[in-house]
A and B are shown apart, each in its own frame.
Chain A
Amino acid sequence: KQEVTQIPAALSVPEGENLVLNCSFTDSAIYNLQWFRQDPGKGLTSLLLIQSSQREQTSGRLNASLDKSSGRSTLYIAASQPGDSATYLCAVIPLGGSYIPTFGRGTSLIVHP
């Protein structure tokens, strides 16, 4: 059974810092990995999807990497801003068939001015 772990569970940083959020998974078979953002009381917003054959994806200040051999993914946030405050979740998604993700518990991020 796939298990997804996210470290740290919570993070509080001053504005401007560069951040690294970690995601590890137990089954490193062929999967895609997706990072989401969840704001309080709201649903999930997809940030980045790394295909199984890729090693990283970038969008603006966000960069996500995937190392299947070690079962790890990292989300790098550059020059953090208060608007980045949210919970970040990673999800491992099996290839083929339907979309049935296994989520981590998330990292709760607070960026204070």
Chain B
Amino acid sequence: KAGVTQTPRYLIKTRGQQVTLSCSPISGHRSVSWYQQTPGQGLQFLFEYFSETQRNKGNFPGRFSGRQFSNSRSEMNVSTLELGDSALYLCASSSKVDGREQYFGPGTRLTVT
């Protein structure tokens, strides 16, 4: 079975722009979670989607949003990028209804200049 894939793997954007990151979960997994990892704040939970609905959201501003499609693929969008948004964005999928036993993708490295 293919693992969690994230595209693109690397991205460079300019302040003020917006960006969309994509995550394809393991086949059959309906729960997709997103995390942000930075040297300053560590690894933080962004949000979780299950069957196209956002179930949980971390403590991030409204500039961070996401969605999930009927095939469980998920996208994350960040608008009006700030330098502090530079991070590794990780996606994880789970076959469990409660989102446990997550399998992580390799991440998208976003650099904002």
Instruction: Report the minimal beta-carbon distance from A30 to chain B, rounded to whole angstroms.
Output: 15
Q: From known contacts A42-B106, A43-B105, infer whether A100 and B48 are also in contact, taking CB-CB under 8 Å.
A: yes
Interface centre among A44, A45, A103, A106, by most B CB within 10 Å? Answer: A44
Least CB distance, A104 to chain B, in whole angstroms: 7
For the complex, give the distance between the alpha carbons of A46 and B93 in Å. 13
The answer on a CB contact under 8 Å between B104 and A45 is yes
Check A97/B44 contact, CB under 8 A, given A42-B107, A43-B105, A45-B104.
no
A98 with B104, Cβ < 8 A, contacts A44-B90, A104-B42, A105-B42 known: no
Provided the pairs A43-B107, A100-B48 are in contact, do residues A106 and B42 lie with their beta carbons within 8 angstroms? Answer: yes
Contact with A89, one of B43, B44, B101 (Cβ below 8 angstroms): B43
Q: Please indicate the chain A residues that have their CB under 8 angstroms from the CB of B100 in the complex.
A: 93, 99
Cα distance, A45 to B92, chains bound together (Å): 11
B98 adjacent to A99 (CB under 8 Å): yes
Shortest beta-carbon distance from A96 to chain B in Å: 8
Give residues 70-113 of B contacting A (CB, 8 Å): 90, 92, 94, 96, 98-102, 104-107, 109
Contact A100 B4 (CB under 8 A): no
Q: Are B45 and A100 in contact (CB under 8 A)?
A: yes
Interface: B56 (CB within 8 A): yes
Map CB proximity to A onto B56-75 as digits: 1 under 8 Å, 0 otherwise: 10100000000000000000
Q: In residues 68-113 of chain A, which contact B (Cβ within 8 Å)?
A: 89, 93, 97-106
**0/1 interface trace, chain A 37-69, chain B, CB 8 Å (1 if under):** 000011111100000000000000000000000
Cβ contact within 8 Å between B58 and A100: yes
Contact A100 to B92, CB < 8 A, known contacts A42-B107, A43-B107: no
Cα distance A101–B37 when bound, in Å? 13
Q: Is B55 an interface residue (CB 8 A)?
A: yes
Interface residues of A (CB under 8 A from B): 41-46, 89, 93, 97-106
